């Protein structure tokens, strides 16, 4: 098989890149090791920056998002028993869209199917070849048959555990990582959200997050030990713990119900440099991971796709390599700012017992400064709603 761009991974980054390239007349093949059902079964966050919203509209996959997504013009920060609102609209004139990542992926699958896009699922033993040459190709196995895809470029959108980053030689790749000493226990429930906006809660028992997927579907998280197991957290225990970490008015109005999904996720910050090697380009989680506190994972993937799609369009349109040569630098400049913001939000809001009483008082002082300083709130709002591409 021959195509112009081989894309590894059918998550939102790979599908969005394929869709944008198709609209510019550039062919691609998406190769995915999992089934479509598996991909659509992954539960992910859904706070979308303005830049990512604009990119989804450019990709012509915005109709259901505009109809069902919720525009949020602020967030809540709760500590000391009180909730404080950060007003994005007043501070920056901007907002975010709350729309599940699973729904974005579903919309992208539908668009690629409608336009005849080639998506190969259940591809085993995906291997990248000759990526440092002008004739890269990839191979994969289905059953007993090995298939080959020749292409001009390869986009590695296959996540943290994918093959793409591992293809870059060790002497070329540099990695940076911070692993946090706790996880998030998340519960999805068919209950109305406790607040109309996402609320971050700092409490002496640990962090809690109140989020939502819709007006009737809520997503809640509590900070937990990495040694915990989901089986240790029956629904009743989870709801009791969440109530304890919320301000009294929120705890009184919290509506509980059976969990639809429950999982524990570790938190880490991770960056791989460079994001290009020869004709292989990394995008999304293949190149970087952020703790979910800043809601940047999906949004960083979208900005990578923005830079990569524009670089490929320029190359195929006129042979111009400037954007392609600058791809890694452009991405990483934005990536590191998002990493900084996500690290800051994480260290500000979570309980770090090893920091002792002094560390706790510093957190409270920082939170008090934040909610009483227009400059500090503006900086948070600018980063949360999305820095420019």
Angstrom CA distances, 161 to 243, 253, 265, 286, stand at 35, 40, 15, 7
- Give residues with Cβ within 8 angstroms of 279, minimum separation 6: 131, 132, 133, 134, 136, 152, 153, 154
Spatial separation of the C-alpha atoms in residues 35 and 227, rounded to whole Å: 30
Burial 33-51 (b: 16+ CB within 10 A, else e): bbebeebeeebebbbbbbb
Spatial separation of the C-alpha atoms in residues 287 and 273, rounded to whole Å: 8
Q: Is 140 one of the catalytic residues? A: no
Q: What share of the chain is helix, strand, coil (3-state, %, to 5)?
A: 40, 30, 30
Q: Is 84 one of the catalytic residues? A: no
What letter would DSSP give residue 350? Answer: S
Dihedral sign, Cα of residue 313, residue 319, residue 320, residue 324: positive
The helix (H) or strand (E) run that includes residue 304 is helix 297-318
Region of residue 236 (phi > 0: left; psi between -120 and 50: alpha; otherwise: beta): alpha
State the catalytic residue, choosing from 296, 307, 316, 330.
296
Q: Is 292 one of the catalytic residues? A: yes
State the catalytic residue, choosing from 22, 62, 72, 330.
72
CA dihedral of residues 290, 292, 293, 299 (deg, nearest 10):
70
State the catalytic residue, choosing from 99, 200, 220, 316.
200
Question: Residue 168 is encoded by which pair of tokens?
Answer: 């870059």
The helix (H) or strand (E) run that includes residue 341 is helix 327-349
State the catalytic residue, choosing from 62, 202, 292, 316.
292
Spatial separation of the C-alpha atoms in residues 150 and 123, rounded to whole Å: 16
Beta carbons of 97 and 70 less than 8 angstroms apart? yes
Tokens 């796709």 found at: 305
List the catalytic residues.
Answer: 72, 200, 292, 296, 384
């Amino acid at each position: 098989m021959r195509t112009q761009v081989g894309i590894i991974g059918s998550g939102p980054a790979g599908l969005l890149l394929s869709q944008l390239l198709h609209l510019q007349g550039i062919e691609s093949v998406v190769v995915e090791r999992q089934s479509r059902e598996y991909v659509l079964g992954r539960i992910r966050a859904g706070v979308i920056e303005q830049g990512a919203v604009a990119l989804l509209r450019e990709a012509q996959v915005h109709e259901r998002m505009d109809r069902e997504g919720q525009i949020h013009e602020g967030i809540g920060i709760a500590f000391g028993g009180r909730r404080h609102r950060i007003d994005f609209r007043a501070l920056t004139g901007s907002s975010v869209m709350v729309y599940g990542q699973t729904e974005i992926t579903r919309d992208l699958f539908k668009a690629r199917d409608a336009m005849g896009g080639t998506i190969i699922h259940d591809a085993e033993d995906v291997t990248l070849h000759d990526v440092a040459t002008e004739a890269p190709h990839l191979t994969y196995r289905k059953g007993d048959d090995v298939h080959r895809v020749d292409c001009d470029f390869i986009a590695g959108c296959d996540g943290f555990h994918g093959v793409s980053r591992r293809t870059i030689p060790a002497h070329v790749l540099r990695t940076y990582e911070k692993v946090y000493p706790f996880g998030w226990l998340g519960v999805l429930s068919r209950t109305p959200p406790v607040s109309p906006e996402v609320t971050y809660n700092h409490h002496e028992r640990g962090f809690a997050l109140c989020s939502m997927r819709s007006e009737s579907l809520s997503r809640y998280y509590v900070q937990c030990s990495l040694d915990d197991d989901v089986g240790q957290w029956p629904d009743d225990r989870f709801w009791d713990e969440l109530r304890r970490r919320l301000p009294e008015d929120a705890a009184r109005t919290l509506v509980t119900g059976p969990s639809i999904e429950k999982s524990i996720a570790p938190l880490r910050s991770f960056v791989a440099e460079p994001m290009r090697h020869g004709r292989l380009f990394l995008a999304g989680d293949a190149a970087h991971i952020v703790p979910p506190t800043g809601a940047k994972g999906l949004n960083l993937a979208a900005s990578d796709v923005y830079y990569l799609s524009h670089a490929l369009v320029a190359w195929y349109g006129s042979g111009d390599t400037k954007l392609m040569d600058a791809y890694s630098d452009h991405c990483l400049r934005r990536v590191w700012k998002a990493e900084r913001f996500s690290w800051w939000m994480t260290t500000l809001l979570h309980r770090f017992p090893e920091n002792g009483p002094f560390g706790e008082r510093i957190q409270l002082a920082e939170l008090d400064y934040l909610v009483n300083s227009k400059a500090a709130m503006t900086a948070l709002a600018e980063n949360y709603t999305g820095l420019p591409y």
